[in-house]
Amino acid sequence: MTDLARLVQALPKAELHLHLEGSLEPELMFELARRNGIDIPYDSVEAIRAAYDFSNLQDFLDIYYVGMNVLVTEADFFDLTWAYLTRVHAENVRHVEVFFDPQGHTDRGIAFDTVVAGITHALDRAKAEWGLSSKLILCFLRHLSEEAAFETLEMARPHLDRIDGVGLDSSELGHPPSKFQRVFEAAGALGLKRVAHAGEEGPPAYIHEALDLLKVDRIDHGNRALEDGTLVARLGREQMTLTVCPLSNLRLCGIARLEDHPLKRMLALGLRATVNSDDPAYFGGYVNDNYIRTAEATGLTADEIVELARNSFRGSFLPADEIARHLAEIDAVVETVG
């Protein structure tokens, strides 16, 4: 292991941008397809991996929605979530705020309860066994209607003791945040946190809308904010957390090479950037790989890596005392490593 990889491994971290359905590894996809008698358009794990060659977000989403069809029973959602948590526990991740896409399941006739029961069973077990804490965020699919989002929020009502926030994902271009202003307002009135993918492929105006109309607590991605100086100044002033996903940006062709990734520039501009994996089974790396590969490609310093880990807790929805405890643990690692 390089010194850099040792530092990343040693640092306690939170992951704030992770789609559970995007952590479905080809091996598990195959096993669940067999277990549930579901046809998938691949005849081997290698064929699945070979299909993961994307030129943009929509290319990926088309395959992502087919992949999740193998998830049927509560046990499937448990296995999916447990595999992710096992993986990041080994990477010294102490807290996760994970997304799920209920409409990707309820539209196939899977009960909302089944999805939430399987996921939360795994989240509870990770907390009990390892002290790994979590928040659960329901994402609305933005290519679907406002009405469908309201129906999903209604389905979530009996589960609000287990759901901490709402998010907005799927095809960004042509589906601006303004389309979901009313449903985000309703979610806020229910006491839910609010986040939205913005500026992944969409223009800076979508980030303005997420802030002004959806009243988000975080921006997911936010890369294209860098095209708008006024927006950068605002994001810095408000210390708005950006959940940046470098390997995702590379694989979806937002950047041509990892060397071109703007993470280091975001930090230099005073933005509260964090590092996350987005859909690790599809993009070739979990959270530590995102730190290590981006650090190697863009020359992040040890101090910058530590700052990114601190930001992951500062930007979380944990209570202040827990954030302080995690930050103190980071300080202790810095003392021993430095």
Q: How far is CA 330 from CA 216, 302, 327, 338, in A?
A: 27, 13, 5, 12
Rule CB under 5 A: say whether 278 interacts with Zn ion.
yes
Report whether 185 contacts 207 (CB < 8 A): no
- Rounded CA separation 144/297 (Å): 37
Task: Using the minimum distance from each CB to ligand ADE, give the nearer residue, 248 or 311.
Answer: 248
Question: Which of Zn ion, ligand ADE, none sits in contact with 22, Cβ below 5 to 8 A by type?
Answer: ligand ADE
Residue matched to tokens 């926030």: 165
Report whether 118 contacts 75 (CB < 8 A): yes
To the nearest 10 degrees (0 to 180), the angle between helices 302-314 and 320-337 is 160
Which one of residues 197, 208, 218, 272 is an interface residue with ligand ADE (CB under 6 A)? 197
Contacts of 50-54 with CB under 8 Å at 24 or more apart are 52/251, 52/282, 54/251, 54/252, 54/253
- Could you give the string, one character per residue 52-91, with x where binding to ligand ADE holds by CB under 6 A and - elsewhere? -----x------x---------------------------
The region of 84-92, 103-111, 270-278, 307-315 touching Zn ion under the rule CB under 5 A is 270-278
Rule CB under 6 A: say whether 274 interacts with ligand ADE.
no
Residue 273, strand partner residues = 242
Rule CB under 5 A: say whether 172 interacts with Zn ion.
no
Does the annotation count 200 as an active-site position? yes
Which one of residues 114, 248, 276, 316 is an interface residue with ligand ADE (CB under 6 A)? 248
* Catalytic site residue from 200, 201, 209, 307: 200
Contacts (CB under 6 A) with ligand ADE, residues 155-194: 169-170
Residue matched to tokens 């309860």: 113
- Rounded CA separation 338/333 (Å): 8
Task: Using the minimum distance from each CB to ligand ADE, give the nearer residue, 7 or 198.
Answer: 198
Task: Using the minimum distance from each CB to ligand ADE, give the nearer residue, 136 or 323.
Answer: 136
74: which residues sit within 8 A by CB, 6+ positions away?
114, 117, 118, 121
> Which residues are identified as catalytic?
200
Which residues are near Zn ion by CB under 5 A?
Answer: 278
Q: By CB under 6 A, name the binding residues for ligand ADE.
A: 19, 22, 57, 64, 169-170, 197, 200, 248, 278-279
